[in-house]
Structure 1
Amino acid sequence: MNLVTRRSILKATAAAVAAPMFIPATALGKGGAVAPSERINVGLIGLGARCRRIAGDTLKNVPSINIAAVSDCLPSRLDTFTAAVNPDATWKRYTEFREMIEKENLDAVMIETATHQRAWIACNAMAAGMDAYIEKPMSLTIAEGREMVQCARKHNRVTQIGTQQRSNPMTNWACGLIQDGKIGTVRRVKTMNFVGPVAIPGGMPKHPMPEGSDGTKWWDTWTGQAEFHEYNANLFYNWINYVDYDGGGRSFGVTGWGAHAYDQIQNGLGTSDTGPVSVTLMEPVRTFDAGMSDFHRDTDDDPAAALADEPKEISGPVGRCIMRYENGTEIDFGLTNDQGPSFGAVFEGTEGKIEINRNKVASNPKELTQNDENPGLLKGSQNNPHIQNFADCVKSRDKANADIEIGQRSTTICYLLNIARAVGKVGEELKWDPKTERFTNCDEGNAMLSRQRRQGWELPS
């Protein structure tokens, strides 16, 4: 039952039944509380570290959302997650998310699983009538992402992809300056040369199943659409680095911080519903160790400096690329860790420059961004306004700030980089059609737009 239907039933029931003499203020939404009839019942799926942060911010700052149930295929996480986030929680716990969406009266799901699991879960949930907040990157391939968009549109679902800067007032304001021509015509955008994923190494030993598992069942479920490998703890805990499961997700990775940075390019250029028309690899691909702690200084004002304790074992393929848009704007993916905005880009126009980073903007001339119109730094977590926007749109049925089409286009940029590097044709322009989402001169690249899914893990048609 969706939110509108449930609310209609509650209103009809209230009209038919005599009101009690005393009604708690919380039931009416007084005193800052949200009336139960106006709360959104949400199920959390994938209870790792990222979900802990999302859940914590939601519980503290978005009272219109009620976490009604949680799900993870590894049974032990149901208890450890609850103990860490809310020991007094009364939410239902499930190891099978399909059972959760069948039994619980949910309006939406928040999907914080590994990347390779997100499309299958999101499409099944949306087909069952639920809105979806989906962690970035939303998909494992470009073709898979397009199927997710089609599923959302078919079932008229509200979606929000986890690129939180789309709900940051200051960065959106700076993107508006660029779109309004405040730096003239944008000729070039300089952004980060993030590392891609690596292949799963051969000969990895089979490890004993983790404590609290249910044998091999959970591992088969966790593997999902990907090729099955025997359980190895490195695969499970470092999945974000491997091409089977992600596009280069941790820290200075293409689909990790790159998904945020490249989304800001799309936002600034006003190209959120389209994409580039070509990508060119400018140098041979090499392996690069992107351990940020070796680059950022204590005095560095890049927001990434605050994350200097992240693991250093972030090694993968890099290769500077150039993308071009139909209007001639050139995107140079060439900056390294200590050279530019880790969560954004530098926009170079005919009349000035603007740098957009997470919770930071700068410009030349300085007066463009140093004035009273600047909304200023976002206080608190970047998650708060983004989750609130999702909750508001679940009620209003408007498109969220990072609607799934926006997510598809930004994710596509990430995978175009990986594909250009994998094809490896230095100096050769691979022409891309953003309407058909295919290369027009590279069959090898087109073969990488999708992957064969393991039997039983096909997306719903």
Structure 2
Amino acid sequence: MGGRARGVIGDGLRSPDYRLAAVCDIFKPRVDSYVAQFNKDHAGGPIKGYTRISEMLDREQLDGVMVQTTTHARAWCVIQCLKRGIDTYIEKPMCLTIEEGRAMVDAARKHKCVTQVGTQQRSIPLNNWACDLIQAGAIGKVRVVEAPNFIGPMEWDDKPAQQMPDGGSDDWWDIWTNAAELRPYHQELHYGWARWSDYDAGGLCFGVSGWGTHSYDQVQRGLGTSDTAPTAILLEEKMETRDSGRFGQRQIGDDETGAPYYGMAKLSGPRARITMRYANGAELRLHLDGDRGPGLGCIFVGTGGKIEVNRDKISANPKELLARDDRPKTLGELGFSETQPHIQNWLDCIKSREKANADVEYGHYSTMICNLVNAVRETGLVGKTLQWDPKAERFTNCDEANENRWIKRPRRKGYELDV
């Protein structure tokens, strides 16, 4: 029940179709605190609190579940919901590895569940309008898409164990660790989990996996490639840590880790420029460092102009490309938060049984790009084009890359990907 979970609950409660029944957090003091405050502030009926997801799913009669866990636990928790036939809203990045993403798609299809990955730009009218213009040929044939060169994760070196915070069960840290390697408790792991490669792929400011998921998903939406991924990947330089010096770290102990919201790709961390190529010939160039370019989007370069798409913001060269009578209002003009329309789309699809705007398979392919970035950087074959088969989900000319931890990794007993 961290900051993101509280945020999406707040946005959900704005809808007449949303009623909160129960919440779950492995750390009992946090869930108890949230339940007490919620029941005090809301007259719509008391909610229940749980510390075990399986207990909540089996006891409550739920139409949907919103999974806002740490990244490393997300796939396993989502699959527990899907196996019970429960429609699921999945925070992004939806998974830690490509193997996890495929298992989530398979589970959703097997159990016929409505899914929505939290790439909320798929439900922003202005973003979708701009992407539809691109697909309709407003800038001619798209040759290149430019996106940020996001930083990757950091590596954790074990430190002496610290005393765990009071109030949790004896096994809460073991369960929090989920499928990852069980390490001695340390507050920098607990509160700073998003920095470390055991638990996430984004480093100091959510980088490749956190903000990159949004940026690359915007690429996919604009190119019309939501159900596939690039087929060729070129690492252009050796991965190294570079520091912009612009933003300091948050303090350990904060609920939210990372950088100020628009810091995104601008902090210190490992990075290297990459160019990817799609089967349709378009190139995705991950070259924009520091303050250059849209932090949550990308720039589409066509034979007849450019369109830049960021979150609820667009621009073009020539400007006349966007001077149209049917241009939608921004979310601010409509009176919506950034996530509100996305949650409503999920709720609508629960009733209609239609595919949501950010179906789990769309999310899988967008998150796949994040994992491919980290895998190719770590494999380190500068100047060699690696061929990727998006359907087989493997490299066809590099066995070493197929064994990379962002493709698949060992899982602890009890956290297998059983769909």
TM-score, length-scaled by structure 1 = 0.84
Q: Does 1:327 align with 2:284?
A: no
Alpha-carbon displacement from aligned partner over 1:64-99 (angstroms, at most 9, x marks no partner): 011100000000111233356563451011000100
Taking the TM superposition and a 5 Å limit, the aligned residue runs for 1:42-57 are 47-57=1-11
Q: CA deviation at 1:200?
A: 1.0
Q: 1:439 aligns with which of 381, 395, 413?
A: 395
1:58 Cα deviation from its structure 2 partner: 1.3
Say if 1:191 and 1:84 are closer, same or farther in 2 by CA, change over 3 A.
farther
**Residue of structure 2 equivalent to 1:137:** 93
Secondary structure in structure 2 of the residue aligned to 1:401: coil
What's 1:453 paired with?
411
Q: Which residue is 1:349 aligned to? A: 302
State the partner residue of 2:70.
114
**Residue of structure 2 equivalent to 1:392:** 348
Which string of whole-angstrom CA distances, capped at 9 and with x for unpartnered residues, describes residues 323-342 of structure 1?
00112111110101211000
Secondary structure of the structure 2 residue equivalent to 1:419: helix
> 1:212 matched to which residue of 2?
167
Which of these residues, 230, 233, 238, is aligned with residue 279 of structure 1?
233
**Residues 7-38 of structure 1: per-residue CA shift (max 9 Å, x gap):** xxxxxxxxxxxxxxxxxxxxxxxxxxxxxxxx
Alignment of 1:53-452 (within 5 A): 53-59=7-13, 61-82=14-35, 87-89=40-42, 90-202=46-158, 204-215=159-170, 217-248=171-202, 251=205, 253-289=207-243, 293=247, 307=261, 314-379=267-332, 380-448=336-404, 449-452=407-410
- Between structure 1 and structure 2, the one with the greater Rg is 1
List per-residue Cα deviations over 1:304-324 (Å, max 9, x = no partner): x9835x699953210000000
SS at match of 2:216: helix
> In structure 2, how many angstroms separate the alpha carbons of the residues matched to 1:178 and 1:86?
47
Contact persistence 2:265–2:289 (CA under 8 A): no
Q: 1:283 to 1:84 in 2, by over 3 A?
A: farther
> 1:290, 1:312 within 8 Å by CA — same for their partners in 2?
no
Q: What letter matches 2:399 in structure 1?
A: D
Percent identity between matched residues is 51
Q: For the residues of structure 2 that align with 1:105 and 1:167, how far apart are their CA atoms?
A: 28
Classify the secondary structure of the residue corresponding to 2:238. Answer: coil
Q: Are the equivalent residues in 1 in contact too, given 2:153–2:196 (CA < 8 A)? A: yes
Equivalent in the alignment of 2:254: none
SS at match of 2:40: coil
Could you say if the C-alpha distance between residues 418 and 306 of structure 1 is closer, same or farther in structure 2, counting changes exceeding 3 Å? closer
Distance 2:190 2:145 in 1: 36
Question: Aligned to 1:372, what secondary structure does the other structure show?
Answer: coil
Query: Does the residue aligned with 2:414 lie in a helix, a strand or coil?
Result: coil
The TM-score, its normalising length taken from structure 2, stands at: 0.92
Q: 2:414 & 2:350 partners in 1: Cα distance?
A: 31
Contact 2:194 2:206 in 1 (8 A): no
Summarize deviations over 1:199-218 as a string: whole Å, max 9, x none: 1123x121111122223x11
Measure, in 1, the Cα distance between the counterparts of 2:123 and 2:242: 32
Q: Is the 8 A contact 2:264 2:295 kept in 1?
A: no
Verify the 8 A CA contact 1:71 1:78 in the aligned structure 2.
yes
Aligned residues: 401
The root-mean-square deviation of aligned C-alpha atoms, in Å, is: 1.8
Mapped contact 2:204–2:268 kept (Cα < 8 A): no
In structure 2, relative to structure 1, the CA distance for the partners of 1:340 and 1:433 (3 Å cut) is same
Q: Evaluate the alpha carbon distance shift between residue 101 and residue 185 of structure 1 in structure 2; reply closer, same or farther with a 3 A threshold.
A: same
Who is 1:25 aligned against?
none
Structure 1 85/322 Cα, relative in aligned 2: closer, same or farther at 3 Å?
Answer: farther
Cα deviations by residue, 1:257-302 (Å, 9 ceiling, x for unpaired): 11000000000000000010011110111112366548xxxxxxxx
User: Is residue 55–residue 85 contact of structure 1 (8 Å, CA) maintained in 2?
Assistant: no
Alignment partners' CA distance in 1, 2:366 and 2:36: 35
Structure 1 residues 53 and 285: CA distance shift in structure 2, 3 A: same
Change in CA separation of 1:252 and 1:97 when aligned onto 2, cut-off 3 Å: closer
**Per-residue CA shift, 1:106-139, capped at 9, x if unaligned?**
1111000000111111111111110100000111
Specify whether residues 48 and 314 from structure 1 end up closer, same or farther in structure 2 by C-alpha distance, changes over 3 A only.
farther
The CA distance in 2 between the partners of 1:447 and 1:354, in whole Å, is: 37
How far apart, in 1, do the equivalents of 2:414 and 2:261 lie?
39
Structure 2 distance, partners of 1:250, 1:66, is: 35
Instruction: Structure 1 unaligned segments of length 5 or more: list them.
Output: 1-46, 295-304
Residue type at the aligned position of 1:220: D
Partner Cα distance (1:174, 1:311) in 2: 23
**Structure 2: which amino acid aligns with 1:100?**
M
Change beyond 3 A, Cα 1:338–1:458: same
Residues 250 and 48 of structure 1, relative CA distance in 2, 3 Å threshold: farther
